[in-house]
Amino acid sequence: MSSSQNKEAQCDPEVAGYAEANVDRTVGCVSDPIDEAAGPLIRRAVTIRYSLPKSQRDVRLDLFRGLANWLIFLGHIPNSVLTWFTIRNYGFSDGADLFVLISGYTATLVFGRLMINHGFVVGATRLLRRVWQLYVAHLLIFIFYLTTVHYLAHKFDSPHLMDQFNVALLMDHPVETLSQGLILKFKPLNLDVLPLYITLMALFPLILWMMLRWRNAVMVGSIGLYLAARHYDWSLPSYPSGVWYFNPFAWQLLFVSGAWLALGGAAASRWILRSRVALALSIGVVVIAFAVTLSDHVFVLRRLIPDGLGSLLLPNDKTNLAPYRVIHLASLVFIVVALIPIDWPGLRSPLLKPLIRCGEQSLPVFCVGLFLSFIAHFAIDFGSDGLVPQLLVGGAGLLIMTAVAYYRTWSREIDKYVARIGPTGEQTANGRAA
């Protein structure tokens, strides 16, 4: 057989086997069925370039996604000592940056394999089902949040809560406000992350399809869109005025970067992890970010920061994802990956288990954390604002979030067990109920 014939045979769906595509190779030949049910006539063989990690679960992703949820919760409790337990006071990026980056990475791991093995339609519909789940979760937290703020503000005669948490419009224009909330234009305070996540995930089927073929080209396009959005002030409008707090045209860069890393960018960049120069530069970035950010709160440090550098980096532009936020997050990720390998024994420590559980059950934990952040703020505002009460409130919130994560894990295990044994409690040889 000639080399051209051999290459054609390797890319033939009947030979390569699209259902058994090897997702651990850098270049693979898989079929890309538009719809398996439509039959083989519309199947076509395409060369997909991918390098997804092996199926082994990377516990580091769960660990730092759980950490991002904790940081977001603590950061959403204003005017309290709890914000000093987040990284936003010690660097340019914070939990939201980490959350979006990891979300892009994990979405690619899950839905990229589906697209490779079963085609675009299967992968895209599963992705859109996830988008619907996220949208429903947002609506639920949206309704609970509005109702709680409205109730407590009137119950305790504190109308300032309505203005502080951006729900005063509900009193004057209830129908229009709720309608704008349904289309993600109206967002109460702190409810900005999920609409961003929903938007990015809704566009991800097409982006992922392209990245499986032209990974680097899509990454370049993402950088171009990011730069254009910052230069031309592109964003989405909010209700009643202004723009989205998280500009999706800018923040897509982190999401696509996570996808790029999952699809082989991390493997292609592995040589950088062995570079001591790169590690030294990353540490230097983190140290400078620490000094500059902390100087905004500590007068002694402020005198040590050159005026030009301070005015360039402060205030921190979060809405349009300032470049130094990206560089800071990239430096943190580099240091963590370089110092904590995937098989690090410390990942099995019981002390890290709560964080890992919160990362495994990210969506319910995140939603509960958003709601609890308002409750915590209310408790501190109307209770005692001393150091010990603030720590107790923050600790209680983290404990509840962790309890939700453990409950969700237990509940899923019960669901799997019931599905395995069936309603009668009998089980067949292949694990299905008789």
* 368 within some domain: yes
Domain encompassing residue 8: 1-49
**Residue 114 and residue 149 in one domain:** yes
- The tokens describing 116, both together, are 């490779």
Specify the pLDDT at position 170. 85
Taking the C-alpha atoms of residue 263 and residue 53, their distance in angstroms, rounded to an integer, is: 8
Is the pLDDT at 198 greater than 60? The verdict is yes
Residues 6+ apart with CB under 8 A from 399: none
Residue finishing a domain among 242, 268, 294: 268
Decide: 148 and 378 in contact? Cβ < 8 Å.
no
Q: What is the pLDDT of residues 99-132, one digit of tens each?
A: 999 999 999 999 999 999 999 999 999 999 999 9
**Residue 233 and residue 169 in one domain:** yes
Give residue 315's pLDDT band: very low, low, confident or very high (50, 70, 90). Answer: confident
Helix (DSSP H) and strand (DSSP E) numbers for the chain: 20, 2
Interhelix angle 174-182/120-155, rounded to 10 degrees, is 150
Is the pLDDT at 377 greater than 80? The verdict is yes
Q: What is the pLDDT of residues 253-288, one digit of tens each?
A: 999 999 999 999 988 888 888 899 999 999 999 999
Specify the pLDDT at position 43. 40
Give me the mean pLDDT over the 162-168 stretch: 91
**In 80-173, alpha helices (H):** 95-118, 120-155, 160-164, 169-172
Give me the mean pLDDT over the 282-305 stretch: 88
Give me the mean pLDDT over the 308-321 stretch: 85
**Residue 24 and residue 156 in one domain:** no
Specify the pLDDT at position 308. 77
Decide: 351 and 71 in contact? Cβ < 8 Å.
no
Specify the pLDDT at position 50. 59
**Residue 155 and residue 78 in one domain:** no
Question: In this predicted model, which residue has the larger pLDDT, 14 or 260?
Answer: 260
Specify the pLDDT at position 31. 43
pTM of the model: 0.86
* 67 within some domain: yes
* 80 within some domain: yes
**Residue 71 and residue 182 in one domain:** no
Taking the C-alpha atoms of residue 50 and residue 87, their distance in angstroms, rounded to an integer, is: 33
* 250 within some domain: yes
Give residue 423's pLDDT band: very low, low, confident or very high (50, 70, 90). Answer: low
Is the pLDDT at 21 greater than 80? The verdict is no
Is the pLDDT at 232 greater than 70? The verdict is yes
* 192 within some domain: yes
Taking the C-alpha atoms of residue 78 and residue 80, their distance in angstroms, rounded to an integer, is: 6
* 290 within some domain: no
Give me the mean pLDDT over the 143-150 stretch: 94
**Residue 132 and residue 67 in one domain:** no
Number of domains comprising the chain: 3
Give me the mean pLDDT over the 78-85 stretch: 91
* 140 within some domain: yes
**Residue 32 and residue 146 in one domain:** no
**Residue 10 and residue 61 in one domain:** no
Give residue 306's pLDDT band: very low, low, confident or very high (50, 70, 90). Answer: confident
* 281 within some domain: no
Helix (H) or strand (E) holding 27: strand 27-31
Taking the C-alpha atoms of residue 98 and residue 140, their distance in angstroms, rounded to an integer, is: 24
Decide: 31 and 10 in contact? Cβ < 8 Å.
no
**Residue 75 and residue 104 in one domain:** no
Residue finishing a domain among 268, 292, 310: 268
- Mean residue pLDDT across the chain: 86
Is the pLDDT at 89 greater than 70? The verdict is yes
**Residue 238 and residue 189 in one domain:** yes
Specify the pLDDT at position 35. 44
**Residue 166 and residue 239 in one domain:** yes
**Residue 17 and residue 104 in one domain:** no
Residue finishing a domain among 268, 285, 302: 268
Specify the pLDDT at position 425. 62
